[in-house]
Structures are given as structure tokens and as C-alpha cells.
Structure 1
Amino acid sequence: MHPLRHRLALATLTLATATGYTASALVALIAPFAPNAHAQPAPVVWQMATEYPATSMPGEGLTTFAQEVATRTQGTLAPQPTFDASAGVKSAQMPAAIRDGKLQAGDAFGGALGEVDPIFLLSSLPFVATSVDKAHRLADLARADYAQAFEKQGQHLLYITPWPPTGLWTHKPVGTLDDLRTLSVRAYDETSADVMRAAGAKAQNLSFADAMPRLKDGSVNAVLSSGDGGAGRKLWDYLPYFTAIGYAMPLSFTTVNAAAWQSLTPAQRDAVTAAARATEGKQWSRLNTRLTENTARMRANGVTIDDNPAPAVQQALQAAGLSAVGVWQTRVGERGAALLKTYFSAEAGLH
């Protein structure tokens, strides 16, 4: 590619992200001024979306991926990320939106995809994988199952994004079981909603986009989330207490429409695969400092963090969690039970 053409393509992606214009519209504006514009095709634009902020782990993943792809394809492919559900698509709707071509690609939180396939609830099972290393091993173990489930939805799995540990944001401290029973919790999947109910709280499965109005009107007074998602959404404006219950380290998934994937040249697919691999590597690496950064930001905004939950509260949650894991195994069938057996056996061998 002509060097100037390469610079123009990269500039188009940057300007599109900054201004909100589509990359294709900007290409149309600048094309007459590019050398040999009539001889060079416009970059292929992938509209990508997430319901999370640009500063969240999924948001940073989309930005990283777009930059990696633009560089590795020399501007011939231009992913255009959008954030905060501005594309009108929440995580639960993402597979259908991508499959049906409303979007070419996007990020979806795994916990919201349980109705698509219960395998996606694996990473958010309570108290199963509660450290970075454990979450990474479980993700690697289940990757082929995730990819196969997305293939059935007309999608190709690009990369996985891990979340920091899930905790409980509340409007007041949770020091007793009575405190827990006063909570109306936003849960992020049906499993976590069931766990919270079994432990004594009220709970409902809500997307972040749907949860924010409920926080404002007071019908929700607690949120199950990591410090990452919470920090990005400024949950401290409503919920100034965070209890580090170590519930799970769930995953988000970034996929692309299968037809869009197949329409790429072999060289482009190789470049996108390399970009996805590089993005996922950076996402896992970010976790090493992310928790510290989130904790500092939360404390700076007046959040009281309880790193030692009350034993009675933790025991109630863990007992409810154990039952929920059993329910999931029944629902997902033999493959899920086999995955967990392999995972737990490997974990036992490490100790």
C-alpha cells in the first residue's frame, strides 16, 4: 500500500472513533484528495459494540483490537468500536445482532448469554475460579466449547476478556445476615440472582444499562459487579460500600459475524487472528495491575472497601453458590460436568 494511503486509513479510523462519524462516511469525504483514490478500495468497516464504558476491560479490549487490526492489515480493515450500549445492543442481544448483521462484531458479557447456551455461564459460577491464574486456566480449558457454541450462532470467536473479581456494591455495610436480607441486588446472570435469593436477598438479573435507572429511583440498592465495571459506571455515586466476596472472575467474549469473517482474504484473517491473540494477551496482563488501580480509584471516590466479609454472610453465599453449581451441571449436561471435573482435578494437582 502507498504510504500516504496507509496514513490516511489509520487517520480515518482515529477520526471516526473520535467524532462519531462512520469510517465509511469519512472515507467518502477524503477519498477525492487521496492519490490514486479510484484505484484503491475503501477499508472494510466492522461496526463493533459493547454495553460497557470505554474505560472498562471490555471497552479497552475493543479499542486495543481496533488498533491492532488497523495496523496489522495496513488499514484495509477498520473496526469501529462503540461503547455504553450506544449502538442500542446489550450483551444478551449481542449474538443475535451480530448473527443478523446489525453489527459485524461486538463484545458480550458471558453471564448474559445463558439462554443462548448455558456453557457461557461457566466462568461466572460462584466460587469456582477466584484468582487470575484459575480463571485463565478455566478459560483455556473451555475455549473450544465457547467457540463451538458461537459457531452455532453464526459467529467466529475472536478473543476473550477477563473481568476482575466480582464483589458486592451496597448502600450500607453488610455485616450481618439481616443486612444481606435488606438488599435488592442487581445480579448479572440467572445463577447469581438465584445465589443472592438463596442467601436471603432480593435479586434480579439486569444488564448494566437497565440497572442504572433502578439505582437512581432506589428500587435497586446493591449491585453484583467487579470494581472495574463499577468504577467505570461510577457506582460510588449511589453505593459507597464494596464487599470483596470473591464471587467469580467472569468473562466477556468478542465475536465477529461468520460471513464477515469468511469474506476476508486469507492474509486478512491471519492478521485479525494475530490481532485477537495480541489483544487477549494484553487483557490478561492488564489484570495484574487492574485490581490495584480500581481499588485506588474507588477509595479516592469515597468507597469503603471491606476485604474481610462477615463469616456468616460469606458462608451463606458459599452455601448458596454450591447449590447453584449443581443446578448448572444438570442444565448443561455431560460436557459441563466433564469440564468442571477436569478443571478441579488439575487444580488439585497444583497443590
Structure 2
Amino acid sequence: MIPTRRLLLALPALATAARAQAPGARVATEYPATSIPGEGVLHFAAAMTARGVPITAATDGPDGYRSAAALDVLAATRFAAVDAFAGALGGVNPVFLLSSLPFLTASHADAARLKDLARPAYAAAVAPRGAELLWTTPWPPSGLWSRRPVTAPEDLRGLRVRTYDATGTEVLRAAGAEAEVLSFAEVEARLAAGTLDAVLSSGDGGAGRRLWRWLPNFTELNYAWPLSLAFASQAWLATLTDAQKQAVRDASAETEARQWQAIVGRLDANRRTMRENQVAIHEMTAPLQAALRNAASGAIEAWSARAGEARNILAAYRA
């Protein structure tokens, strides 16, 4: 039998270990397992479990999870960690809208450079809310899924379109569309009800949700290379030993490297998947590009006016 004094002294360490190893620890995303953020949480969960800290990946918006609520659900300890679309957190801090500013990034390399410049600001923005940045995930460039082909400026007029952040809503409204911000988890019901005509999203997210069931056209706008960001609850991290915290850092770094490598070749794979499902892929015409860029200029100015120190990141990227 263990002496009472020794047992009492051991209880705090045992409790910490029990919490860290609890089977209920989960990392969540609102996106499907076939999307690149979904693959990220699956990889992180496997990497953590292999390092002796079991955690379960939960995709497709478990328990109604939405990216916009990422910091709230972490504070409520509903999940140990979450993936969130950065633009959905624009209300927390304007810096989270940076990666989805229209026509700012045109390539994988551009997106990576902007991410490196912004990373300290992302981490600083969530720290007071009890969260810690773990890894970043690039989305393939955004395009427009639609019921009818969208190839000219007049095709946007009156188009009922889902956007993923406030900036995208401003841009498409300025171009004549009836745009609104919706979580991806809300999109399918709206499409099935016939109250949406189009969805601003990458081919990756759309392929994962099989948007081609309603929207058989995809216009390659190359609008933005936005990010998803993964955060851990500081409260959960506090339950871990030093070795387990190091496992989190190592698994996060491994996941980030995996995500940025996975994006290479993703565009071609997405195009193949879309064509296999009879999606018509349209290139952006010069008139459509001009109309969207003109509409975007006001949205970028509006973001800059409220962005505070995040303007310095944009200036450094453009230098």
C-alpha cells in the first residue's frame, strides 16, 4: 500500500497527467476532412498521439463549431485546439483579414511571405484571449462557384453570393452582387433552399463540400490565398507537462510544414476532381478582372483605415 503522505504529494501530478491524457481532448475544424484544414487537424492529432499526448480530430463543425467562435470555444474549454478561417476573426482584430485582402497575393510564395510577416501579430492578437497560435494553413486561391457561368461584370449584378469575410462582402457588393458573409457550414442548406446563387471559396473547400451538386461552374478569380490558423487553449496547455508542451510545439511545426508542402500541386488535383464531376472551369476575363479590382480598391482603403498597426505589415509586404 502507498503511504498516505506519499499519495497526497503525488495527487497534483496525477491529476495533471489525467487531464492531459483525457480521451475527450479534441482539435476541431468546421471544414471537411478532405479539405486542407481538415487534413491539418487530422495530421496534428496523429502527430500528438504518436508523441504520447492523445487528441482526437473532429471535422465538419462538431457541436456546431464555427471559425468565428474559435476564441470563445477555447475559452469555454470545449476543445483543446481549433482550426479557424482567419477572415472569420476580423471582428477580433483587423490583422486577421490581411491574408484575404483581394488581389494582394498571387502565388504560394506570396502567401508564405505575407504569413511570415504577419505571424507575430496573429499570436499577439489571441494571447489576451487565452489562446496560443499553433500552425498556419494556406488555402488554394479563391474563386467563384456559381449556378450559371460568371465571366463578365454584368454576371455579378444581383448575384446572391456567399463570402467568407467582411472584405469580400464589400468587394462583391461594390461590383453589384448581393453578398453576405456565411460560415461554410451554413452554405449547403442555403444552396438546397435556392437562396444562394454563388459561393466565394477555393476549389479545395468547394470540392470537399461537393458544391458541384448545386453550382456546376467555377471561375478562377485568383482573388486571394487566404489562411486558416490553428490555436490551442492556454488552459489546456497549462495542464501539460514540459515534455508534453514540447510535443505540442513539435507536432505544430510538423503540421505547418506538411500544410505548406501539401498546397503544392493542390490546384491541379482540385481541377481534376472538379472536371471529374462535370464542373465547368472558367478563366477570369479582362473585363471581369478590371471590375473586381476596381471594386477591391475601396475595400482595401476601408480596411487600412481601421487596421492600426496591421498597416505596417501590409507596407512591409509591399516594399
TM-score where L is the length of structure 1: 0.84
How much has 1:82 moved relative to structure 2?
A: 0.9
Task: Provide the C-alpha distance between the structure 2 equivalents of 1:284 and 1:204, rounded to a whole number of angstroms.
Answer: 29
How much has 1:279 moved relative to structure 2?
A: 0.3
What is the aligned partner in structure 2 of residue 319 from structure 1?
294
Check the 8 A contact 2:77/2:235 in 1, yes or no: no
Give 3-state SS (helix, strand or coil) of 2:55's partner.
Answer: strand
What is the aligned partner in structure 1 of residue 318 from structure 2?
344
**Match for 2:270 among 286, 290, 294?**
294
Structural mapping, 1:124-143, within 5 Å: 124-143=100-119
Check the 8 A contact 2:151/2:282 in 1, yes or no: no
Structural mapping, 1:226-241, within 5 Å: 226-241=202-217
Give 3-state SS (helix, strand or coil) of 2:73's partner.
Answer: helix
Which residues of structure 1 form unaligned runs of 5+?
1-39, 346-351
Task: Provide the C-alpha distance between the structure 1 equivalents of 2:85 and 2:114, rounded to a whole number of angstroms.
Answer: 16
Give 3-state SS (helix, strand or coil) of 1:288's partner.
Answer: coil
What is the aligned partner in structure 1 of residue 228 from structure 2?
252
How much has 1:221 moved relative to structure 2?
A: 0.6
How much has 1:223 moved relative to structure 2?
A: 0.3
Task: Provide the C-alpha distance between the structure 2 equivalents of 1:165 and 1:227, rounded to a whole number of angstroms.
Answer: 8
Task: Provide the C-alpha distance between the structure 1 equivalents of 2:207 and 2:174, rounded to a whole number of angstroms.
Answer: 27
Task: Provide the C-alpha distance between the structure 2 equivalents of 1:55 and 1:243, rounded to a whole number of angstroms.
Answer: 21
Give % identity: 46
Task: Provide the C-alpha distance between the structure 2 equivalents of 1:81 and 1:87, rounded to a whole number of angstroms.
Answer: 13
How much has 1:99 moved relative to structure 2?
A: 1.4
What is the aligned partner in structure 2 of residue 59 from structure 1?
38
What is the aligned partner in structure 2 of residue 96 from structure 1?
72
What amino acid maps onto 2:314 in structure 1? L
What amino acid maps onto 1:312 in structure 2? P
1:207 aligns with 2:186: no
Check the 8 A contact 1:180/1:313 in 2, yes or no: no
What amino acid maps onto 2:21 in structure 1? P
Task: Provide the C-alpha distance between the structure 2 equivalents of 1:260 and 1:146, rounded to a whole number of angstroms.
Answer: 19
What is the aligned partner in structure 1 of residue 13 from structure 2?
none
Q: Which string of whole-angstrom CA distances, capped at 9 and with x for unpartnered residues, describes residues 304-326 of structure 1?
A: 1112x122211111111122111
**Match for 1:155 among 131, 138, 141?**
131
How much has 1:212 moved relative to structure 2?
A: 1.4
What amino acid maps onto 2:49 in structure 1? A
Task: Provide the C-alpha distance between the structure 2 equivalents of 1:48 and 1:185, rounded to a whole number of angstroms.
Answer: 30
How much has 1:150 moved relative to structure 2?
A: 1.1
Check the 8 A contact 2:99/2:111 in 1, yes or no: yes
Give 3-state SS (helix, strand or coil) of 1:219's partner.
Answer: coil
Task: Provide the C-alpha distance between the structure 2 equivalents of 1:49 and 1:269, rounded to a whole number of angstroms.
Answer: 19
Structural mapping, 1:153-232, within 5 Å: 153-232=129-208
What is the aligned partner in structure 2 of residue 9 from structure 1?
none
How much has 1:100 moved relative to structure 2?
A: 1.7
1:274 aligns with 2:253: no
How much has 1:43 moved relative to structure 2?
A: 2.1
How much has 1:176 moved relative to structure 2?
A: 2.2
What is the aligned partner in structure 2 of residue 14 from structure 1?
none
Give 3-state SS (helix, strand or coil) of 1:65's partner.
Answer: helix
**Match for 1:68 among 30, 34, 47?**
47
How much has 1:332 moved relative to structure 2?
A: 1.2
**Match for 2:21 among 40, 43, 46?**
43
Task: Provide the C-alpha distance between the structure 1 equivalents of 2:299 and 2:57, rounded to a whole number of angstroms.
Answer: 35
What amino acid maps onto 1:337 in structure 2? R
Which residues of structure 2 form unaligned runs of 5+?
1-16
How much has 1:44 moved relative to structure 2?
A: 3.6
1:262 aligns with 2:238: yes
How much has 1:233 moved relative to structure 2?
A: 0.3
Task: Provide the C-alpha distance between the structure 2 equivalents of 1:63 and 1:305, rounded to a whole number of angstroms.
Answer: 30
Task: Provide the C-alpha distance between the structure 2 equivalents of 1:259 and 1:84, rounded to a whole number of angstroms.
Answer: 24
How much has 1:87 moved relative to structure 2?
A: 2.2
Q: Which string of whole-angstrom CA distances, capped at 9 and with x for unpartnered residues, describes residues 77-121 of structure 1?
A: 111111111221111112100112122211111111111111111
What amino acid maps onto 2:175 in structure 1? A
Q: Which string of whole-angstrom CA distances, capped at 9 and with x for unpartnered residues, describes residues 323-342 of structure 1?
A: 21111111111x12111110
Structure with the bigger RCO (C-alpha within 8 Å, sep 6+) is: 2
Task: Provide the C-alpha distance between the structure 2 equivalents of 1:93 and 1:341, rounded to a whole number of angstroms.
Answer: 29
Check the 8 A contact 2:80/2:236 in 1, yes or no: yes
Check the 8 A contact 1:70/1:79 in 2, yes or no: yes
What amino acid maps onto 1:99 in structure 2? A
Check the 8 A contact 2:27/2:45 in 1, yes or no: no
1:310 aligns with 2:285: yes
